[in-house]
Chains A and B, each alone.
Chain A
Amino acid sequence: MATTAPPAEAPAPSDERVRKVGLVQRLLVLPGTGAVLITIIIWVFFAAVANSNNFVSTAATAAILNRAAPLGILAIAVALLMIAGEFDLSIGSIVGFASMAIMLAVTESGAGGFGWPLWAGALLALAIALLAGFFNGLLVVWTRLPSFIVTLGSLFILRGLAIAITRQRTNRTQLGNLDEVSGFGFFDGLFGTEFTIGGAGFDVAILWWVGLVAIATWILLRTQWGNWIFGTGGAQESARNVGVPVARVKVLLFMTTAFAGFMVALIQAVQFTGADALRGRLQEFNAIIAVVVGGTLLTGGYGSAVGALFGALAFATLQQGVVIWGVDADWFQVFVGGLLVVAVVFNNYIRQRAARR
């Protein structure tokens, strides 16, 4: 019944069944468009209500971007994993655990640490994070349980370990003085530098964030792995049947989220010259919110890293906006919830238009 047979055999070079779609229409169907619009709306809102508090300023812009960068780095990895159809609820705990691994490694042995140089501590934390991600992935692939449950377990295990081990060895849950450790200068240059523009300090983490978004976008759209990620999330069995190594894709993506957790742990440890065992708490949810606001489908198979960038930006703009506006910070959660619901409805509408284009 789907026989809208073309009248002539002539294979017209420009197909009469395809109509030209305008630029606006084509932009509208990209996964990140909703987040861009939402970011603009939030920004305009606070520019209006908090104008007298200097919301429109380089200082406020720097504060927004500095907030967005660590969340954004997590969100990129979470987006890749979510496109492949899985969740990682343990990413916030990995931030905490990796932070404490770095700090314990560099703390003097008299104070319960190992007295290592920073590079060794960073390597230890990286190894632990990748191992945690590897086990998350392996468990999900082997048991075929929802990753939601498996990584919820890791969330508690890793957070508990971060607190318990640190307290047992040092009697504390906060460790500092990272700037006195040998090798700090090198890491400070890489991860802790601030650029002063217009009197405001912009963290170098912003550059890492944007750079990683570019790499993730390239992987998603222009590599074999990207195709496999979309395929794995879009229809796992079908992808496997045509030869996609679904299990390997998933395990590597869990290791990628863990790597992002390690990156944030290192950046923040260097920035604050120390860490708290509770660092990264709730970041797993904030990252998921950023990714979903960014247009990635919770069920997988659809999404983008650029969307996640704007999702994190929308989140940070909202967070900083509430602070600058001066309303009680208690209200922040109400706004976040509202943002999430509005964004999901909006993205859903856009995606349906995309399907019907």
Chain B
Amino acid sequence: MTTATENPLLEIRKISKFFGSVIALQDVSAFVRAGEVTCLLGDNGAGKSTLIKVLAGVHKPTDGSYFFEGREMDFDSPRDALDLGIATVYQDLAMIPLMSIWRNFFLGSEPTRGFGPFKRYDVDFAKDTTRKEMGKMGIDIRDPDQPVGTLSGGERQSVAIARAVYFGAKVLILDEPTAALGVKQAGTVLKYIVQAKNRGIGVIFITHNPHHAYPVGDHFVVLRRGQVYGDFTKEEIPLEQLVQMMAGGADLEVLQHELETELRRGAEPAAEGAAADDGPSPEDG
């Protein structure tokens, strides 16, 4: 249903990111088109958060190129990305615990009134908008002056998402937004992703849950150990296979590890062998 011929809104080509000797990303390419959802899947430590921090302008890539609306980008700070309408929900949410909800909501992008030395923070607008935007998420905040540190994990996540949705005019990046949420709240977030997509926004949705990714995603990039393991459109891959790829991949590593341990013990006779392997045997990835 999406026009697959359209040019990508945001694209990275052969991005690498090293932290000293740590290779967090190696030659990763991915893209998102306007009105589409690109899902980024991968186990813990696969490099998902590092990748979105490159996209958000937090990290400069060690190598590779970054294109936005066809032009090559070189961000010096997250401010540069935000100014282009690329907003991010970070995995740690990027909130200031001691600050109130409305101050957090607009931190870094404060609405102002007046000119010159009388330019001031439009507090009323900020409070109203925060309440309204949170209301749209189905969260009825008690008191916008409440410090964010006193909110529940789910509420805090909702503030971060509402903020990114509000500021993400063109691209919305979400790093495991459903991880800390209950089933119902996770459903709300997925609904949000679809709404953003329908408004023509390009969404990059990071998760390690294929059941969350599949219903909303247009294509799926699987990261493993800092590299792209697979890149599929929805037509190319049924849910079962995506699930199997995620689960099978994990099992494969576990199994491999177990086998190695067993082999090292090889000299000894198989002492009451661990017959615990009841999972589906991994065929081909």
Contacts and interface: CB of A to CB of B under 8 A. Distances in A.
- The answer to whether A and B assemble together is yes
Contacts of B147: 355
Nearest to A15: B142
Nearest to B103: A227
A227 B107 contact: yes
B121 interface: yes
Contacts of A2: 152-155
A144 interface: no
Main secondary structure of the interface of B (DSSP, over half): loop
A111 to B, nearest CB: 41
Interface of B: 56, 58, 77-79, 82, 88, 90, 92-99, 103, 106-110, 112, 119-121, 123, 135, 140, 142-143, 147, 149-150, 152-155, 163, 182
A245 to B, nearest CB: 7
Interface string A1-17: 01100100001000101
A242 B107 contact: yes
A177 interface: no
Q: Of A15, A234, A244, which is in contact with the most chain B CB atoms at under 10 Å from its CB?
A: A234
Contacts of A245: 77, 79
Given A15-B140, A15-B142, A244 B107 contact: yes
A231 B154 contact: no
A122 B98 CA distance: 40
Nearest to A235: B96
B99 A231 contact: yes
A143 interface: no
A297 B155 CA distance: 26
Given A235-B96, A239-B108, A242-B109, 11 more contacts: A2-B154, A231-B108, A234-B99, A235-B95, A238-B95, A241-B58, A242-B78, A243-B77, A243-B78, A243-B79, A355-B147
A230 interface: yes
A230 B100 CA distance: 11
A241 B149 CA distance: 18
B95 A240 contact: no
B78 A241 contact: yes
5 contacts: A2-B155, A18-B143, A227-B107, A241-B78, A355-B147
A321 interface: no
B123 A302 contact: no
B94 A242 contact: yes
A11 B140 contact: yes
A196 interface: no
B121 A226 contact: yes
A307 interface: no
B263 to A, nearest CB: 44
A346 B107 CA distance: 30
Nearest to B100: A230
A302 B100 CA distance: 11
Contacts of A227: 103, 106-107, 110, 121
A14 to B, nearest CB: 10
Given A11-B140, A15-B142, A230-B103, A244 B98 contact: no
A302 B149 CA distance: 13
B119 A223 contact: yes
A3 B79 CA distance: 36
Nearest to B135: A11
Interface of A: 2-3, 6, 11, 15, 17-18, 218, 222-224, 226-228, 230-231, 234-235, 237-245, 297, 301-302, 355
Contact of B120 (A222, A230, A231, A237): A222
Nearest to B126: A227
Contact of B96 (A11, A17, A224, A239): A239
Given A2-B152, A2-B154, A355-B150, A244 B99 contact: no
Contacts of B155: 2
B98 A302 contact: yes
A239 B104 CA distance: 9
A241 B90 contact: yes
B121 A3 contact: no
A218 B135 CA distance: 30
A228 B99 CA distance: 11
Contacts of B140: 6, 11, 15
A224 B98 contact: no
Contacts of B90: 238, 241
A228 B103 CA distance: 10
Contacts of B120: 218, 222-223
B88 A241 contact: yes
A223 B121 contact: yes
Contacts of A15: 140, 142-143
Given A11-B140, A224-B112, A241 B103 contact: no
Contact of A301 (B56, B58, B96): B96
A244 B142 CA distance: 27
B121 A224 contact: yes
Contacts of B110: 224, 227
A18 B101 CA distance: 15
A241 B94 contact: yes
A243 B97 contact: no
Contacts of B142: 15, 17-18
Closest 6 CB pairs of A and B: A243-B108, A234-B96, A2-B152, A238-B94, A242-B108, A224-B110
B129 to A, nearest CB: 15
Nearest to A11: B140
Nearest to A241: B94
Nearest to A230: B99
Contacts of A230: 96, 98-99, 103
B89 to A, nearest CB: 10
A6 B155 CA distance: 15
A12 to B, nearest CB: 9
B228 to A, nearest CB: 25
A223 B118 CA distance: 9
Contact of B97 (A218, A234, A241): A234
